């Protein structure tokens, strides 16, 4: 059976994840006229597994939303033993400059393009609750960084917690119990990219507007992202690309609810196609039934929608399993000490960059 170079590389990627620790999901950057990267992986839940979906999400550097979209009907608390699950590691890069940090709230992923490496580091995130939304369509920069941030709840937060019969301290001191975690990158007066003290929330809308990462992921960003790095927020639930061979792909995520009615409804949030996406999908070669199916199913994975010969299979790659392939009994964080566990083959590892002088904090973050 003929196998594409990308499919072979994806198997190597997955096997490497089982045999060694890596620091993040890293993809080699495709050519400027290409945005499709990676390959999906298929795993089987062990017969004796007692782990929640979060454990598998952390193991494979995914957010809960990514896993739920790719595996509809999966039990969040205890995925069924013997069930096959897709790890959605194939994706379309956001329609944004390949520079600095790009945060796509709709898919709850952070993309970091380290200078001089021709790679992109992809990390799952948690974002703001409905009504306390993470910014969208905003370009800013990393203004300062803090090792051991404190958190000062606002008056509104005190009132919110008091209404639930809970009391907040005036200031949360730095440390492992701080809701901001152990590291923070401040990106404006009210927002930060920071860690968390919880064992859930990555891939969910749980914060007061800030961007949350797992503990080891924020540590890696803190050590490698310089002050002054460009940060762009986008909201792209639908991404589409025309690849160099003429293949056209669309990737559809559930759009973020904008009202309480939408949030509480079982109905799908309507999808709006941008002009950029529409240009990809109106071509005569595109099968509109496939487009409609992709919009309806919203798997969060790229779907090929035209008839050009496909050299990049979208079906998951079945990876031989070893005892090391399964999540450990520690679902609170990724299984490695560096913060993630999959590295794309032949990717130049971003080297720790000289640390710019960290300015003393002048204000505590108010949005965790």
Active-site residue set? 194, 210
Judge whether 16 and 345 are in contact, CB under 8 Å. yes
Residues with Cβ within 8 Å of 129's Cβ and at least 6 positions away in sequence, in order, are: 205, 206, 207, 208
Q: Say how far apart CA 213 and CA 194 lie, in whole Å.
A: 6
Q: What is the 3-state secondary structure (H, E, C) of the chain?
A: CCCCHHHHHHHHHHHHHHHCCECCEEEECCCCCCCEECCCEEEECCCCCCCCHHHHHHHCCCCHHHHHHHCCCCCCCCCCCCCEEEECCCEECCCCCCCEEEEEHHHCEEEEECCCCCEEEEEECEEECCCCCCCCCEEEECCEEEECCCECCCHHHHHHHHHCCCCCCCCECCCCCCCCCCEEEECCCCCEEECCCCCCCCCCEEECCCEECCHHHHHHHHHHCCCCCEEEEECCCEEEEECCCCCEEEEECCCCCCCHHHHHCCCCCCCCCCHHHHHHHCCCCECHHHHHHHHHHCCCCCEECECCCCCCCCCCEECCCCHHHCCCCCCCCCCCCCCECCCCCCCCCCCCCCCCCCCCCCCCECCC
Measuring CA to CA, how many Å separate 265 from each of 221, 261, 268?
Answer: 36, 6, 8
Place of tokens 């009202």: 259
Q: First and final CA of the chain: distance in angstroms? A: 51
**Half-sphere exposure (CA, 13 Å, Cβ side) for 293?**
11
């Amino acid at each position: 059976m003929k196998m594409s170079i990308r499919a072979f590389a994806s198997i190597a990627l997955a096997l490497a994840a089982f045999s060694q620790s890596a620091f993040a999901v890293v993809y080699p950057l495709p050519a400027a006229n290409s945005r499709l990267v990676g390959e999906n992986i298929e795993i089987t839940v062990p017969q004796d597994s007692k782990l929640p979906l979060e454990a598998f999400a952390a193991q494979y550097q995914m957010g809960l939303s990514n896993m739920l979209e790719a595996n509809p009907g999966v039990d969040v608390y205890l995925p069924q033993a013997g069930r096959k699950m897709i790890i959605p590691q194939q994706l379309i890069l956001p329609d944004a400059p390949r520079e600095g940090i790009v945060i796509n709230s709709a898919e709850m992923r952070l993309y970091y393009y380290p200078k001089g490496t021709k790679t992109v580091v992809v990390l799952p995130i948690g974002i703001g609750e409905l009504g306390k939304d993470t910014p969208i369509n905003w370009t800013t920069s990393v203004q300062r960084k803090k090792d051991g941030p404190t958190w000062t709840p606002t008056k509104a937060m005190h009132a919110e917690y008091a209404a639930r019969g809970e009391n907040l301290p005036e200031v949360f001191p730095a440390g492992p119990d701080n809701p901001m975690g152990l590291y923070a990158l401040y990106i404006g007066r009210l927002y930060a990219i920071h860690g968390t003290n919880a064992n859930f929330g990555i891939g969910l809308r749980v914060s007061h507007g800030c961007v949350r990462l797992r503990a080891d992921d924020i540590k890696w960003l803190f050590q490698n992202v310089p002050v002054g790095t460009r940060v762009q927020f986008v909201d792209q639930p639908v991404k589409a690309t025309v690849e160099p061979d003429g293949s056209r792909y669309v990737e559809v995520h559930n759009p973020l609810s904008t009202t309480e009615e939408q949030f509480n409804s079982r109905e799908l949030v309507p999808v709006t196609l941008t002009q950029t996406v529409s240009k990809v999908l109106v071509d005569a070669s595109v099968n509109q039934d496939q487009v409609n199916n992709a919009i309806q199913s919203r798997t969060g994975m790229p779907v090929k929608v035209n008839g050009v010969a496909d050299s990049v299979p979208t079906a998951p790659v079945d990876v031989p399993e070893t005892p090391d392939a399964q999540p450990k009994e520690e679902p609170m964080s990724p299984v490695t000490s560096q913060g993630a566990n999959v590295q794309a083959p032949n990717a130049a590892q971003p080297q720790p960059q000289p640390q710019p002088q960290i300015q003393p904090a002048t204000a505590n973050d108010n949005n965790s």
